[in-house]
Structure 1
Amino acid sequence: MNRKKKKKMRNFLFLIILMILVGLIIKLKDNGLINNKENSAHASTENRNKKNTSSEKLLTGKTIVIDAGHGGKDIGASGQRGAIEKDLTLSMAKNIQNELNNRTGATVILTRDDDVKISLADRVKISEESNADLFLSIHFDAFFTNEVEGITSYYNKKSDEPLAALIHDYIFKNGLDARDRGVSLGDYYVLRENTRPSILLELGYISNSTDEARMTSDEFQTNTTTSIVDGIIDYLK
């Protein structure tokens, strides 16, 4: 009999506690505390989604042409350590294309995606026919003596000088240990005959052993690719 009384008492206390909890929940909802938390969480999720959507649409509608210098029988310059310019330019062009594809919604076109020779006129034609918002030609310099070193960015039209300066600055923002040869006017066919915004980068002297070792390193390829893409986004955003 005592056990039944104790059991009834426990059940009664449980109901009392349950009623108190329900009352507290109703009061919190009336005060808007629970709803505010739910709304805050919902808003946070919406903000993250908006941020992701915005990031995915970065540079959507823009067209970028990446020109890997030389190719095929035209090997460009070759280094003391065996580096060949046409291979380095293609590797860098593909790296830039991949980085742009990963980070933006831009249409990225390569003038060549294999070891083939493309005429200078055809390179410009690709830029013109695609109505490129930016044409970027990748090269590695050379000199008849091996003392000359450093990175130079070229433009042909005065209107493209700010673009060359911007990309050049980004290349050296990551603490690149290379000689800064600055931004210069260049009489290159792919710039001179191109009506689209266009620049040409000489990313080091392949004839210099120090520059050659740097330009063939994974660190240089990765960091310089990121820097160039940062500059492109800054210019086109």
Structure 2
Amino acid sequence: MQTGFRLNLSPVKEPLGFVKVLEWITAVLAFGTCGGFSGRNVLSVFCDGSNETLTATFTYPFRLNHELLVEQNRTLCNRSVSATHLVGDSSSSVEFFVAVAVLAFLYSMLALIVYLGYMHVYRDSDFGPMFDFVLTAVFAFLWLVCSSAWARGLQTVKDATSTAGMESTLALCKDRGVRCEVTEFASMRSLNISVVFGFLNLIIWAGNAWFVYKETRWHSQKVNAQQTPGRAPAPAPI
């Protein structure tokens, strides 16, 4: 069996290769829409006829408890306010999400190289399709877990940077005659899109598992067993 590289674009025209291209693209879009994000909410503090503003900046990987809302010993509404940080830490969920997306991107690219150059080796061996199927199933499961975790982490970010979240964080907002309100919100559209792409990847990888399974000997053995003719019935006695 020859094992050299043979460029063949026909696998991309089949579901097996075409879906891998989709996986490669959606993985890029998944981590590209949340990695490197930077947002800013403006909190207005109304008191005694005056208006003070505070800026809450939050960036990837969303360690909100490291982000200062009020710098140390700042005076607001004629009161000395100590250093105050935002509340929450979504770094573990978003970093897990990005890690899965990057690994899925790399594996999809590697699989495409195999499909386009070594499909003759891939289909002549048992190991290649079986390994591909197992990893595809594992990635489908990982997309389910990381997308669910990041969706929950994103909700934590939204809650912490909302008016209610900042009011509970800043003790000054609970004083009589003081009202706090977020008057300028950062756009989190790209973060919402990243969650959508996460679950879209789940659907694509789970669907692709079927096409990869059809390349394995497990499927071929099942088909052969179903196509094997049974014994012909004995002729009836005359």
Which protein has greater RCO, CA pairs closer than 8 Å, 6+ apart? 2
Q: Which has the larger radius of gyration?
A: 1
State whether TM-score is above 0.5: no
Which bin holds the TM-score, normalised by the shorter protein? under 0.3
Q: TM-score, normalising length from structure 1?
A: 0.23
